[in-house]
Amino acid sequence: MKTTAKTNAVRFLDSLAIPYELISYEVDPNDLSAPGVAGKIGMPVEQVFKTLLTTDGKGEHFFAVLPGDLELDFKKLARAAGVRKAEMVSLKEVEPLTGYIRGGVTVFAARKAYPVFVDETIELWEKISVSAGVRGTQILLSPADYLRASEGTVADLTKSPTAQEDAQ
């Protein structure tokens, strides 16, 4: 399941000489979720990291990168980013701001190098999976290489399991 087309994200990793593996999968436009992608590439969902574009509501943007099975805690993200509040960017703003469509967002080679905050659980894994910048292709790489390439800041970004259960 190798992909031949090089995305901007892949070219970016190549420019840094960062080793990675590409995995392609069949895209279901009705299910772009991390659990759906994890099932298709045969990885546990907690190793498939989703990339969310967020804002402080005052024009500052930042990426939040977290495991596909967990929910972003906006208060924790705001604290990590040093802002009063954090919220999701509207879906219609994602592509103009990042250059990527929903289901293909990655921090690598985005239109602008927004600050990146990565959930601390990244350090639990030997390899993680992130979008390659297009739907249907994932990049597998080590957490250390991801953090080096993204210049990400590691922080606790997710809701506690009890908060997630309460929200359901």
Does 49 score more than 90 pLDDT?
A: yes
Do the Cβ atoms of 32 and 68 come closer than 8 Å? Answer: no
Residue 96: φ, ψ to 5°: -60, -35
Q: Report the 10 Å Cβ neighbour count for 131.
A: 26
* Sign, Cα dihedral of 32, 33, 35, 41: positive
What Cα–Cα distance (Å) separates residue 87 from each residue in 27, 53, 160? 27, 9, 18
Q: Domains of the chain: which residue ranges?
A: 8-155
pLDDT of residue 2: 45
Residue 12: pLDDT over 50:
yes
Domain 8-155, classified CATH 3.40.50.150, yes or no: no
Mean pLDDT of the chain: 93
* Cβ–Cβ under 8 Å, residues 114 and 54: no
Range 114-123 average pLDDT: 97
Look up residue 40 and give its two tokens: 């298709």
